[in-house]
Amino acid sequence: MICLDPRVKLYLLLEANLLLFFHVNTVTEVIIVVLFLLPFFLSGKTKSALRFTIIYMLLLIIGMMTDSAGTNTLLNFVAMAAVGIRMILPCLIAGAYAFSTTTPSELFCALRKCHIPEGIIITCAVVIRFFPTVMEDYRQIRDGMAMRNIYIGMFHPLQSLEYVIIPLLMNGSTVARDLSVAALTKGIGLSGRHTSMVQIKMQIYDWIYMIISTIPLIMFKGGFL
């Protein structure tokens, strides 16, 4: 299992965005997608990597088959959809890779090393930690409503909204207070450098991978591809 540095993952995400920006041709796109999928496979998330590979290949094949569609409306529509989805797929692959292979502590360590202000890091940490809580709260609120014969539906949109959001926010405010106490006890408010259980360091292969993944883009800009 080889895992890249979180900063390299963020860089790959940025590169996926640049792909859209530079209007790259299909050859460059395929090379870069392969470069994105390779670490995905190596990180042990074979299943989701395989899923993305299959989707991408299917879209590629559909795009090529429908190239000679002529004026057939339906085929043209399919081709357009295939091209459209394929264009945003590099972003999605890089995003899924970054999300599924990075633990929160690794991410925060990386963000600290990038000199992101502490306030933003704390906020991000809370957001990530709080997602599962929101889902669980929602389930409990729904159960509680069902017990009183109130169902979430389209017939009373405002009522449904009020009955779901207000308890969520009430609970959120309570959790915010509890979490603040817990975090302050652990010394999050102290000034100075914070230590971290996880240590991350740019290895030599991280640098190499960054350079390798940039080469296709440069070659495209230079007109070689």
Partner 1 sequence: MKKMNNANRLDVPDFISIGIYTAIYFVLVTIATFSSGILFAGFAYVLLPALATLISGCVYMLMVAKVPKFGAITIMGIVMGLFFFASGHFILSFGANIVCGVLADIICKIGKYKNKMLILLSYIVFSFGLTGPVLPMWFMKDAYVANLIERGKDAAYIDAMFASINMGTFGICCIAILICAIIGGIFGQRMMKKHFQKAGII
Judged by the rule CB under 8 A, the positions of this chain that interact with partner 1 are: 13-14, 16-17, 20-21, 23, 25, 63, 67, 71, 76, 79-80, 83-84, 87-88, 91-96, 98-99, 119-120, 122-127, 130-131, 134-135, 158, 161-162, 165-166, 168-170, 172-173, 175-177, 179-180, 183-184, 188-189, 191
**194: its two tokens:** 């914070």
The least distance separating partner 1 from the CB of residue 111, rounded to whole angstroms, comes to 9
Minimum CB distance to partner 1 smaller for 39 or for 63 = 63
Minimum CB distance to partner 1 smaller for 50 or for 161 = 161
User: Cα angle at 90 between 123 and 41, to 5 degrees?
Assistant: 90
Hunting for tokens 């996926």 — which residue is that? 16
Nearest partner of 204 among 1, 14, 36, 4, judged by Cα: 4
Contact 70, 61 (CB under 8 A): no
CA separation for the pair 208, 215 (Å, rounded)? 11
Please name the residues in contact with 189: beta carbons below 8 A apart, sequence gap of 6 or more.
183
Minimum CB distance to partner 1 smaller for 90 or for 209 = 90
The least distance separating partner 1 from the CB of residue 171, rounded to whole angstroms, comes to 9
CA separation for the pair 10, 13 (Å, rounded)? 5
Minimum CB distance to partner 1 smaller for 14 or for 208 = 14
Please name the residues in contact with 111: beta carbons below 8 A apart, sequence gap of 6 or more.
120, 121, 124
The least distance separating partner 1 from the CB of residue 204, rounded to whole angstroms, comes to 26
φ/ψ (deg, to 5) at 145: -65, -40
The least distance separating partner 1 from the CB of residue 146, rounded to whole angstroms, comes to 19
The least distance separating partner 1 from the CB of residue 159, rounded to whole angstroms, comes to 12
CA separation for the pair 144, 151 (Å, rounded)? 10
Minimum CB distance to partner 1 smaller for 151 or for 208 = 151
In one-letter notation, the amino acid at residue 157 is P
Minimum CB distance to partner 1 smaller for 116 or for 208 = 116
The least distance separating partner 1 from the CB of residue 47, rounded to whole angstroms, comes to 18
Minimum CB distance to partner 1 smaller for 154 or for 204 = 154
The least distance separating partner 1 from the CB of residue 147, rounded to whole angstroms, comes to 21
CA separation for the pair 100, 88 (Å, rounded)? 18
